[in-house]
Amino acid sequence: MSGNSFGTLLKLSTFGESHGTAIGGVLDGVPPGITLNMEAIQQDLDRRKPGQSALVTQRKEPDQVQLFSGVFEGKTTGTPIGFAIFNTNQKSQDYTHIADSYRPSHADYVYDQKYGFRDYRGGGRSSARETAARVVAGAIAKQIIPSISIQAFVSQVGTVGLDKSYHELDLSQTENNDVRCPDQEKAAEMEALIKSIKKEGDTIGGVIDCVIKGVPVGLGEPVFDKLHARLGAAMLSINAVKGFEYGSGFLGVTMKGSEHNDAYQIDGSTTTNHSGGVQGGISNGMDIYFKVAFKPVATLIQPYTTINKSGELVETHGKGRHDPCVVPRAVPIVEAMAALVIADFSLIRQSQLNPIHEQ
């Protein structure tokens, strides 16, 4: 299987399965001499871990990360950082009923067809549990770019959404509720909707917004490695993501060019930011902002019809512990992938500004 690595100079490779011994990764390209804040890394991991509220899966995992290399006396050495998160609360028996059948809208069928073999326990490698390794790497990436802030929040669950832009919200309030929405009234509506959907044995999707502040001019390349293209690839690699838009997004098609153009000011900033902080694939110094759409979780705790390996229609139902809505736990995952992209491009930019000359 290929496709387990992400990044150019800052490269993450992940390993492990949902019900295996552990999940983890190797993060290569971290500069030496960075004092790692392990509490900050664990805090981001805790924001993603299961069992943290009644709105998410009740799988109980401590999700304590262990670093095995690349750090000495609390500082990065410049060598690959290897880490693991050991699984402790698997209930693999919850998945024996799908050993020979395929859950609709899951990776089960295509995985079996592609590889001729699959680990059906929790989805194996295709499980969203793999994203815990991304959160660890993203938390380290944030410490490579301390002057840049990355803030994600839930802006919509089902039909309940915010009617304010991020400029009008107090993003410091995002962690003050289980939904991770900065508007407390809307958060209460979202929570009520998720709980009602959960009682039905059903699931619901949502949208996460992300705002990146303090990005300097010059990150990204103008052709195939556009900054927004890499951000889009990063977000679309997250389980259950169905859509990505940045800046004005699809709303931009309703505007005239005279309305959409971002007029420059003397200092190079712009009076508006329909570009979403990226022009020609390169950061322009303004806030980068984007939206990520997540589909409803595919596992339903209710009867459904599917097919088995013999191509027969069978009746089955979901078992186990699953999220009725994935977006509250996906907030730190979105931040992590954004941090990996921005930190990677920051290192690339530094290498362009400080080339190595032969003596």
User: By three-state DSSP, how is residue 324 classified?
Assistant: coil
Distance CA 236, CA 294 (A): 10
Q: Would you say residue 33 has pLDDT above 50?
A: yes
Q: For position 93, what pLDDT does the model report?
A: 52
Distance (Å) of CA 22 to CA 40, 62, 214, 326, 330: 21, 12, 36, 22, 20
Q: Which fold has domain 5-353?
A: Chorismate synthase, AroC fold (3.60.150)
Query: Which residues, 6 or more positions from 306, have their beta carbon under 8 angstroms from its beta carbon?
Result: 101, 102, 103, 104, 313, 314, 316
Asked whether 85 and 65 are in contact (CB, 8 A), the reply is: yes
The three-point CA angle 199-293-84 to 5° equals 85
Instruction: Please compute the mean of the pLDDT values over residues 185-211 and round it to a whole number.
Output: 95
The two tokens of residue 63 are 């999700």
Q: Write out pLDDT tens, residues 200-228.
A: 989 999 999 999 999 999 999 999 999 99
Query: Which residues, 6 or more positions from 50, have their beta carbon under 8 angstroms from its beta carbon?
Result: 56, 57, 58, 59, 60, 61, 63, 321, 329
Q: Write out pLDDT tens, residues 280-304.
A: 999 999 999 999 999 999 888 778 7
Q: Would you say residue 359 has pLDDT above 50?
A: no
Percentage of residues in the chain having pLDDT higher than 70:
91
Q: For position 103, what pLDDT does the model report?
A: 81
> What residue ranges do the domains of the chain occupy?
5-353
Q: Which residue has the tokens 């998720």?
A: 194
